[in-house]
Structure 1
Amino acid sequence: MAAGSPAAMFCQLMRKRVPDTILKLDHVGVSFDALKAVDDVTLRVRRGERRAIIGPNGAGKTTLFNAITGVVPPTSGRVEFDGRDITRMPPHRRAACGISRTFQITNLFPSLTVEQNMQLALCGLTPRKFSLLGSGGLTDTERDQADRALALSRLGPRARSLVSELSYGEQRQLEMAMALAPGPRLLLLDEPAAGLSPAERVIVADVIRSLPAEITIVLIEHDMDLVLSLVDWVTCLNNGRFLAEGAPAEIRGNAEIQDVYLGKAHRHA
């Protein structure tokens, strides 16, 4: 393609139109009666970024994830994904737009195999969710998606194993695989290393590092050494409000964060 050709100029124009910011929160609040779990939070997440949300227990981190994914509607403010207002969009439509997540507590089907759990994850985004494990099975494309997600999560050899036979670390890897299977553009990981042994943490960290660069990742994690080794940028919340943000090196040296997060969170983690 010649540099000055109409096709090249069109491609350049389209690249310029793609916003660098994939996730935008403007003055987002989530209240439960008098409790402000998230209070006037504004942030921007760049396309392809690795971002951490940190803060002590009760800081509003998971509630913020719930507002992004539609589990709970914001009581104030605006949420945009890829330039589109999704503030009032239901969770299944947000998932169809390319947002996927894991949860703090594993939510798997232990009596089913790894690949059957993957099938449920993929069928759950289609009209076939009402037949679930019916005779239709996965399409060739969906099977390729499932295989790729399991490979990314280092679980390919365990595809035919029952979930009940997996270690807790492998179950966390399976949750990541299920979140990756639909091919999300934004992946939210809620404490992916919680409850893992040191060896399992290393595996999960390696999985996160190896994920494709085109997937934007936002994660919540209490293990500061782990989280600061995985991300480009860190946002700290306290009592539901924005406290500070910066690169990992800045966060390590921030006295206010050390007092609020490192001092308190580790005592209650």
Structure 2
Amino acid sequence: MSHLLDLDHITVRFGGLKAVDDVSIRVKAGERRAIIGPNGAGKTTLFNVMTGVVRAASGTISFDGANVTGEPVHKRAARGMSRTFQITNLFPRLTVEENMRLALRGLSPRKFSLFDSGALTPDEEARAHRALSLSRLQERRGAQVREMSYGEQRQLEMAMALAAEPKLLLLDEPAAGLSPAERVIVADVIRSLPRELTLVLIEHDMDLVLQLVDYVTVLNNGKLLVEAPPGEIRDNPDVQDVYLGKARAHA
């Protein structure tokens, strides 16, 4: 498989702090990759660099064969990047269907039209249907978002990202704040996504994430600590030290 995403010696500075320090990651087309690490490891900053929210101080980013290092968010999205965020970013007083309509209109050249009816085209309707079906929300189209459980809201955020029919989907802590039952549902949604969709996710729940991915990148203090298949990560002594070292020191 070819590399869909290539981060080459990426460094991000906030003042004197190196939030990401000379990190290189290569993600193959169709791969499912997890980026894990303790709080402050640089995971979300790295996501923000991938999508163009944050500019790298040095290094290059290639996506789908193109150098996108200096491209803004909307151009990377147009190339096929889509993401969710740690905190849900929805319109709570609107329905599921209305949120999906806004997501799809945001992708359309008609979004600035003053004379358009706002109705979705047949193709957009089909995309909304597919995304809601993948996210297991097809029966909830008429539900108002503020009346939905937090787990369902996370599913809706995934559906809105999937509506763009991306080549690369980035999920930032999709199970954060969910109950055990909701985690099972979200994990099943992620597991059932088409294998041709390349997936990169951040997640603190190691038990969850190791069931979902093909490969794991571990960050610590902004640096790349180790990369390995899931079966090698749990028992890796460096990973154990990062996650359990402080507890051992105070035991």
Smaller-chain TM-score range?
Answer: over 0.9
* Alignment correspondent of 1:217: 199
TM-score of the superposed pair, with normalisation by structure 2: 0.95
Aligned equivalent of 1:159, options 122, 141, 151: 141
- Structure 1: runs of 5 or more not aligned: 1-18
Shift of 1:126: 2.3
Shift of 1:135: 1.9
* Residue 40 (1) aligns with residue 22 (2): yes
How far apart, in 2, do the equivalents of 1:262 and 1:51 lie? 23
* Alignment correspondent of 1:169: 151
How far apart, in 1, do the equivalents of 2:46 and 2:13 lie? 11
The one-letter amino acid paired with 2:201 is L
User: Structure 1 residues 132 and 197, CA, compared in 2 at 3 Å: closer, same or farther?
Assistant: farther
CA displacement 1:124-154 (0-9 Å, x = unmatched): 1223333599623211101100110000000
* Residue 22 (1) aligns with residue 10 (2): no
Alignment partner of 2:157: what SS? helix
How far apart, in 1, do the equivalents of 2:94 and 2:215 lie? 38
* Alignment correspondent of 2:79: 97
How far apart, in 2, do the equivalents of 1:177 and 1:111 lie? 18
User: Structure 1 residues 262 and 249, CA, compared in 2 at 3 Å: closer, same or farther?
Assistant: farther
Aligned residues: 247
Shift of 1:33: 1.2
CA displacement 1:56-112 (0-9 Å, x = unmatched): 000000000000000111111000001110011110111110000000000100000
Alignment partner of 1:244: what SS? strand
C-alpha RMSD of the superposition: 1.6
Aligned equivalent of 1:227, options 190, 199, 209: 209
Aligned equivalent of 1:123, options 102, 105, 115: 105
Aligned equivalent of 1:63, options 45, 49, 54: 45
* Residue 255 (1) aligns with residue 237 (2): yes
How far apart, in 1, do the equivalents of 2:115 and 2:11 lie? 39
TM-score of the superposed pair, with normalisation by structure 1: 0.89
User: Structure 1 residues 263 and 148, CA, compared in 2 at 3 Å: closer, same or farther?
Assistant: farther
Shift of 1:262: 4.5
* Residue 147 (1) aligns with residue 129 (2): yes
Alignment partner of 1:111: what SS? coil
Structure 1 runs of 4+ with >4 Å offset? 131-134, 262-265
User: Structure 1 residues 34 and 133, CA, compared in 2 at 3 Å: closer, same or farther?
Assistant: farther
- Structure 2: runs of 5 or more not aligned: none
Larger radius of gyration: 1
Shift of 1:53: 0.1
How far apart, in 1, do the equivalents of 2:116 and 2:96 lie? 17
